[in-house]
């Protein structure tokens, strides 16, 4: 580990805009947009039906909380090493997660970049590190997808041959491989961080993907304990595989179909997957509501 948090990024070029107040306006714009989108989505939720179907198991909620916090916690660990990110940065990373999930992809990176620029002293040029961490996250996902594909291929051919075109699977694998190879070949031009920091970031991302795959299985097992945990872990791995293949249409439907094939007809698996997805969406909305409101109040006081 570097003795100085900023040493890894001290020499990176920074992005300077004419208006020094732009981070403040970006933060306010993201907060207002988040509040608008959250208000609309909360109004569309069937809250009564969702509350009636929520599992009561403490293990379910503990596993779900760990699953939800895995990404921002892993990123906090990464940026803590790179910049000495303070504890309050965890809230900024939570906001980054919600922005990416509720608004647009990479809107969270913009919000987090603006947050870092407003708080000088952590990094003179945060853009390079944020870019590298995002690219390595995608690369780690590619590696996990290829590993899962190798393990799941017999199942895909045997059980999903009628539900999925193997040509689409082959194209998806080729795209994942090509992306990973291009990143590897151009790493000196793409990445800004030194090699030891890149290896650390990749290790944290791979550990997080392993943890969230296992936690997904544990969440479902706690809700339906009669179903073996090993079956849920297989489904969690399959979900990781299906959702990351770029040329597979109707990914959610395909995963639900695969889950029903594994669990058998008449199981509660489809309903449970829908419930868990709805709960995670509600958590996104509530976290975004609180963080955006707090950010706007802070902006008003300043």
For residue 148, being part of any structural domain is answered with yes
For residue 15, being part of any structural domain is answered with no
Same domain, 184 and 286: no
Same domain, 189 and 293: no
Nearest CA to 142 out of 241, 255, 67 is that of 241
pLDDT, tens digit, for every residue of 98-155? 888 887 777 888 888 888 888 766 666 788 899 999 999 989 988 888 887 777 777 6
pLDDT, tens digit, for every residue of 234-245? 778 777 877 776
For residue 49, being part of any structural domain is answered with yes
d(CA 71, CA 212) in angstroms, rounded, equals: 9
For residue 12, being part of any structural domain is answered with no
Three-state DSSP state, 54: coil
Same domain, 212 and 109: no
Q: pLDDT category, 73, cuts 50, 70, 90?
A: very high
Residue 233: alpha-carbon gap to chain centroid: 19
d(CA 146, CA 152) in angstroms, rounded, equals: 10
Same domain, 129 and 252: yes
Same domain, 194 and 241: yes
**Where does residue 162 rank: exposed (0-12), middle (13-18), buried (19+ CB within 10 A)?**
exposed
Does residue 286 contact residue 35 with C-beta atoms inside 8 Å?
no
Mean pLDDT of 270-284: 82
pLDDT on residue 242: 73
Distant-in-sequence, close-in-space partners of 108: CB < 8 Å, separation ≥ 6? 95, 96, 97, 98, 99, 100
**Where does residue 181 rank: exposed (0-12), middle (13-18), buried (19+ CB within 10 A)?**
exposed
Distant-in-sequence, close-in-space partners of 120: CB < 8 Å, separation ≥ 6? none
d(CA 281, CA 98) in angstroms, rounded, equals: 9
Same domain, 245 and 302: no
Same domain, 141 and 225: yes
Distant-in-sequence, close-in-space partners of 251: CB < 8 Å, separation ≥ 6? 242, 243, 245
For residue 272, being part of any structural domain is answered with no
d(CA 173, CA 167) in angstroms, rounded, equals: 10
Q: What is the mean pLDDT of the chain?
A: 78
For residue 63, being part of any structural domain is answered with no
Same domain, 141 and 285: no
Same domain, 218 and 78: yes
Same domain, 48 and 73: no
For residue 58, being part of any structural domain is answered with no
Same domain, 35 and 184: no
Same domain, 43 and 188: no
Phi-psi region of 121 (alpha: psi -120 to 50; beta: other; left: phi over 0): left
Nearest CA to 77 out of 10, 148, 37, 133 is that of 133
pLDDT, tens digit, for every residue of 175-196? 888 888 888 888 888 999 999 9
For residue 97, the enclosing domain spans: 20-53+86-121+281-302
Q: Report the domain count for the chain.
A: 2
For residue 239, being part of any structural domain is answered with yes
């Amino acid at each position: 580990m570097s003795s100085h948090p900023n040493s890894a990024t001290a020499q990176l070029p920074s992005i300077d805009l004419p208006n020094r107040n732009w981070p403040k306006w970006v933060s306010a714009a993201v907060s207002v947009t988040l509040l608008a989108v959250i208000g609309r989505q909360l109004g569309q939720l069937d809250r009564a039906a969702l509350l009636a179907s929520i599992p009561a198991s403490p293990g379910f909620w503990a596993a779900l909380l760990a699953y939800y916090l895995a990404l921002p916690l892993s990123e906090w660990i990464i940026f803590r090493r790179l910049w000495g990110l303070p504890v309050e940065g965890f809230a900024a990373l939570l906001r980054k997660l919600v922005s990416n999930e509720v608004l647009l992809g990479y809107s969270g990176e913009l919000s987090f970049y603006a947050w870092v620029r407003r708080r000088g002293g952590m990094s003179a040029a945060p853009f390079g590190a944020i870019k590298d961490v995002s690219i390595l996250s995608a690369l780690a996902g590619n590696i996990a997808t290829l590993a899962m594909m190798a393990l799941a291929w017999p199942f895909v051919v045997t059980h999903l041959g009628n539900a999925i075109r193997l040509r689409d699977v082959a194209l998806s694998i080729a795209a994942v491989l090509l992306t990973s190879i291009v990143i590897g070949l151009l790493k000196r031009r793409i990445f800004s961080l030194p090699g030891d920091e890149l290896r650390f970031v990749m290790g944290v991302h791979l550990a997080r993907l392993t943890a969230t795959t296992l936690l997904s299985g544990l969440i479902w097992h706690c809700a339906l304990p009669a179903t073996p945990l090993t079956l849920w872990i297989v489904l969690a791995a399959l979900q990781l595989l299906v959702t990351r293949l770029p040329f597979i249409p109707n990914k959610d439907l395909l995963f639900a179909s695969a889950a029903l094939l594994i669990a058998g007809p008449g199981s509660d698996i489809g309903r449970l997957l829908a419930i868990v997805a709805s709960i995670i969406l509600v958590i996104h909305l509530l976290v975004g509501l609180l963080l955006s409101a707090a950010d706007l109040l802070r902006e008003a006081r300043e």
